[in-house]
Structure 1
Amino acid sequence: MKDAALDENAVRALATVESFTRGREYFRRGAVSDLERRGERIVAEVEGREFTSYAVTIELHDGGVAATRCSCPYDWGGACKHIVAVLLKYKETPGAVAERPALADMLGDLDREALMALLVKRAGQDPGLEPWLETELVSGMPGVTGKPPAAIDSKLVRRQAERLLSGGYARRHRWDDVGAVDEEAFAALIDKAKPFLDIGEGRNALKILEPVMEALVPAWREQADFDETLHEFFPPLGQLIAEAVLMSDLLLEERDDLMVRLDVWQGMLDDYGLDACLQVAVDALEQGWDEIGLDDVLAGRSRTWPPSGRSDWTTERLTQARLRVLDVSGRIDAFLYLSSAASRHGDSTAMLVRLGRIDEAVGRAHKWFRSSEETLQLARLLMDAGHVDAALDLAEWGASLAPESNRLAGAASLARWLRDNAGLLGRKELALMAARRAFEASMSLEDFEVAQTLAGADWIELRAGLLTSLAAARHAWERTKIYLSEGMIEDAVRSVDLEMIPGNPSDTVLLRLADIAHASHPGWVVDIAERMAGGIMEAGQSRHYELAAQWLEKAAFAYDAAGRLEDWIARIDFLIEKHRRKHKLRPLLEALRLDVGTL
């Protein structure tokens, strides 16, 4: 099955430059196995380091990627390298994809009795299936029934949350593999409240969120000392509870009861340093829609929120919850007034796009946007809504702004989006401008190479400009790598920060540079190689002794190129004597001594 929208540019857009680059390396070395497609779902295994395999699942829609999951712990934004590797293999080697029937197709012809027998049989083998089904049936199945149930059993929801938190049948493990929590399934249980929030059913949402929180707080306290990610559930849970409270007409005793429980839960979290995680829910209960001055803002009679003009984290979160409720309830004018008064210009422009008020959205962006992230988000919304020219014009404006030093990553993402989309639409001049901006923001080899591909016959001129920018940049993580790729050995040598040596002795860029530069810069190679090898040998890092020998071999070639072979012999003899008690290292050094005649 061909997926026209799933090309390399689409894969690049899903990940950071580093994740894409490493994912491509994983794909090229054959780390992806068991690649299957079932309907709109791709599954595969990816071999990581130290023989660890990760399970990847990719959901497709309209030929593109709708959602991705990987069992690795990566959470730095965008798709991880394993997902990139799977997508590249899927795209580049269609013959390696095993086509399997989708689950719906396999079950479609079964009658009720056969399907029930199959579920009962599986439930006998999987202790988690029966309680999961029970919770599904009592907490809403909008995708199946088309409407939520009349009542939700909070006791069953809490029981299922406790089962998941106990780790009895988890798929994802913590570092110690003991009592692991199935975080993916737990997140799915929380998500069951969202369809109710989408239709303004705050009470039903609370019947899911409250028992989930009631189970989570004590479970987390038991493992707080070695928790790595479970605490991350508290802020979004507090946010969802705030939304549910704001859209529910709770009785006074109901509000008091929930307030007491929120205070108890937050107090238990305070003991472990998780301050104010649930404060937004507390604020929603205490202030609701009655906060002084809020009515004036919602009616457009005031242009500043909060009235003091000063906002903190919890105030921002409460404003976000209020905007969400205003949106769901269809109070669009109030939404626009509040988002504008609170300087949430990304929210207001997104709403304007939804309303078809494109010129107004773009004008507001030009007036108020100060970050590349906001510009990129709006440009994507415009593109998705079919306003292609407006999206490209906005992105071009955003890419022309000088980014702050701490926002270079956002500037690079915006420029890449503009580069890729302008290129696809045949806007070469715009694509080249964006390619240059992307490189100036990232200083990465990946963006350098993409610019070369786009430039074609214009590459010579563009290359000169990119290299000038590279030379002038204060910080460029891949500076040496780029010079090396361009055969600029002198510049590559000068770009190495000697104060950082020894740094990472397995740095493949430095290893390659030492290989190439040993004849033209023998003294430099000797210095670098001996520092790298010395760091390993002096520290007694036996697992890296072979790497130390690799560095010393490069030193040997440099000594020979400089006509100093006798100095090398004296040096290796000294090292053999110095490290004679290191039984794993000494044979490697002696082998280098014996290889002198082959130089």
Structure 2
Amino acid sequence: MTTFTLRRQDALAWSGEHEWRKGQSYVRDLTGLSARPEGAATVLRGTAYGQEPYGVRATVEGGEVVSARCSCPVGGGGHCKHVAALLARAVEDRAAFTALPELSEVLEGLSVPELHRLIHRMLDRAPELEALLHASSARSARTGSARERIEAAFDAIRRTYNPEWDHEGEGPDTEAIDLVLEGADALLENLEALDSAWAAQVLDTYLAVLDEVEDTYDDDFDWGLDELQRRALVAVEHLLASGKLDEEARAEAIEAVQAEVASGRGNLEDEAFAEFVAALREEEWPGFLELLRGLMKGARYEHERQQYAGILYGLTADSLNDEEAEALLRASGDLGELLEFLLERGRAEDARRAVREAGQRAHFPELEPVFAARGQLPLLEDLAREALARPDVRRWLFERYAATGRKREAHALAREEVLARPGEAWLTAQREVSPNWEAEREGIVGRLWKQEAHTLTLMGLLLREGLAEDALRLAGERKNVPAAHLLTLAGQLDPGRAVPLIVRAAQLHIDGRSRGSYREAARILARLPGLVGREETAAQVRAVVARQPQLPALRDELRQAGLL
């Protein structure tokens, strides 16, 4: 007898209304329905039939769906229409699910030969599970090294995983490798208690992962194992920095890290890499630096070349002459570091040229502290005045003027901007520094009123300034006033004048003709009862619906909002 419980609202909460509706046509055709207890939970299974048969599974616990999965191309997360169909059937017809005993009871009743035959048949149908079998096997765990088990798991992945069939882009199933690494991770957490022999064994486990990722990736398949690779690389770097490795293991670790850096998969900015660099001995530095220089020269992309140059500068700055240091800084693309270098040496004109050459890459707010530290903010302001064609530079210079009490210069800049490109930010800026804002505002309103393209800006200005009567007149003249502004204006008016604006705002959303826009229209109309009462609200809503007889979805939203 099936003992699970599942209410429609809980099933719907998992699937979502859209997939629930799509799944209804599959509900009656589901086959192989079963319910198996799994601790406090119940696992529901069935087969749905689309372009091909799809295996569907959902786990229910405490009356809620806690997980689900489908073998269809989009069912990995369990939110497809086939899962929705399974849940709908569970809600409507619990008796249709055959009650099965717990899996442990079934397995206990099998002899070893029967269990072997069963596993062979299962692997024939799902060969990708072979990797998990190798990693989980008691014999493998007893007699095979961690490297051997990792190699076996990767070998199974290479033989069974086809990236062309990975519709969701999840990559290979690495659970088998994760099982092996759990033991290595536990030892890594207690590294202080390990001797060099144990540390070398742990190292070999992570080196096996790096080796196998390299062997698995090829020209057509080079994704899906990056997190595994990163996990192993961080562990190798941490082991080397610990000082626990003997000389042979240390050399292997350094070689592995350098190989990962050379492949482009080494993260040169994380904490573990910094630990690795700090742990290098004096005699190990030349080879490592030579590697970075070679990578910088051979980089195919500018951002890669810049990264290598920046790291080289950070590692070697104390040993470089000025010419070498400047060359690396320019190659790194780090404008702030370059300017600090130049200004520290009193080379203001070179700094000026560097900012000009950087063009759009020169972000003045980020450069301000660099120039301020050397008393060179006037130079940066000069450069800003040369680059006033850039909006971000105009804004920075305005803020500099305002912060230093130069309101006349700030006002001139804001006024020029408002005349050329009126917008909320610059209107607010002009208001902050204006010597006579009310007089200026009148002129601005007059100019903007003449240009319909500036309706949005003008309406925003009128509403912010509390000029409700002018805003109401503008709304009457212009059809392109957004719904949000109409609602803001309605909030500043008495009910008699607010109601038409609310209905108009709702109508703008209805014209969008989407489920979401109908829902928003219903929320807007729900404001009316508080203004005019239920009876007049009902009349207003009936008038809206009468103009939209072909939109049943709108009626649904209005009913859910209690307006029909």
Report the TM-score range of the alignment, normalised by the length of the smaller protein: 0.3 to 0.5
Q: Give TM-score, length-normalised by structure 1.
A: 0.38
- Name which one, 1 or 2, has greater alpha-carbon Rg: 2
